[in-house]
Amino acid sequence: MASQTSQRYLAGDYLSENPDWHEDDAPWKAGLIKGLLDQSALRPRSICEVGCGSGRVLELVQEAYPGSTGDGFDISPQAYQISNRRAGSGLSFHHGSPFGQPLTFDLAMAIDVIEHVEDPFAFARALAEIGEYQLFHIPLDMNALAVARGWPVMNARSQIGHLHYFNRDTAIALLRECELEIVAERYTPWAIDQSDKTWKKRLAAWPRRIAFQLSAHASARLLGGWSLLVLTRKASPSRS
């Protein structure tokens, strides 16, 4: 039986709250992903995305590495219907999970997913079983401003489905506790790069820009508006 938290993705509740499945953010996310992979001199030949949603991020990342293959997985039947329209040469979509199957990829991605799952530790370990490298994009919901205001955290839960709330330190700690080595990481400034959507967001972007230049970590902890992109691989005794 599906849990109450996963039921929102199976029954279409998530699609009702997010009718575009955040597809308009896909070019921004894909550009950041390619930047971190290129910085790490990593050119994956096989790419998997767990919780691929509309499939647009995976499509763009796969296109950035000619000759690569992409496989997207999502438990939502609505997401599968949307993403499968993109299927083509080297790009496939699947309704369900890749975990527990004899599948391996150069890169396994979870873009804005780990905060949605009931057990993020089990999820991160499972991702490491199917990918030589793992790539996580994690919203940093837990910041002083969000806690003081109260409603942003609850909105993230009710509208977007976040079950867990991270700052940079807790996100990195979780991955390391799953015996994953941090290969590369960077903040992603969604509150700045996406600030053109409303005048309030444009106004709020300026103090975040200034604060981030003064202290990136302090800005993320105090003001929020950031996510964390992290490339990992399984830790081994020779690298520890």
pLDDT band with cut points at 50, 70 and 90 for residue 191? low
Write out the E strands in the chain.
Answer: 46-50, 69-74, 91-95, 105-111, 131-139, 180-188, 227-234
- Work out how many domains the chain is built from and give that number: 1
Angle at 157 between CA 131 and CA 159, to 5 degrees: 100
Q: pLDDT digits over 80-125, tens only?
A: 999 999 999 899 999 999 999 999 999 999 999 999 999 999 999 9
Residue with tokens 């150069």: 106
Secondary structure (3-state) at 52? coil
**Closest among 121, 155, 128, 164 to 48, alpha carbons compared:** 128
Q: Is 205 within the bounds of a domain?
A: no
Does residue 181 form part of some domain? yes
Q: Is residue 132 part of a domain?
A: yes
If one counts every other C-beta atom within 10 angstroms of the C-beta of residue 121, the result is 13
Q: Cα 202 to chain center, whole Å?
A: 24
Percentage of residues in the chain with pLDDT exceeding 90? Answer: 62
Average pLDDT over residues 16-31: 82
pLDDT of res. 1:
40
Helix crossing, 56-64 with 26-39: angle to 10°? 40
Find the mean pLDDT for residues 138-160: 87
Q: What is the pLDDT of residue 126?
A: 98
Each residue of 50-74: pLDDT tens digit? 999 999 999 999 999 999 999 999 9
Q: How much is the pLDDT for 57?
A: 97
Strands, E assignment, 128-173:
131-139
Residue 209 counted as domain residue: no
Angle between helices 168-177 and 120-130 (to 10 degrees): 60
Specify the pLDDT at position 146: 84
Look at residue 197 in the predicted model and tell me its pLDDT. 56
The CATH number that applies at residue 122 is: 3.40.50.150
Q: Which domain holds residue 167?
A: 4-191+226-234
* 208 within domain boundaries: no
* Out of 3-17, 49-63, 91-105, 193-207, least confident range: 193-207
Mean pLDDT of the chain: 88
The least confident of 1-10, 118-127, 145-154, 185-194 is 1-10
- In 3D space, the residue among 131, 89, 87 whose CA is nearest the CA of residue 110 turns out to be 131
pLDDT of residue 66: 96
Assigned domain for 41 exists: yes
Tokens found for residue 66 = 């000619």
Distances in Å between the alpha carbon of 105 and those of 26, 49, 51, 133?
21, 10, 15, 8
Residue 103, domain member (yes or no): yes
**Is residue 165, in this structure, part of any structural domain at all?**
yes
Strand order, beta sheet including 69-74? 91-95, 69-74, 46-50, 105-111, 131-139, 227-234, 180-188
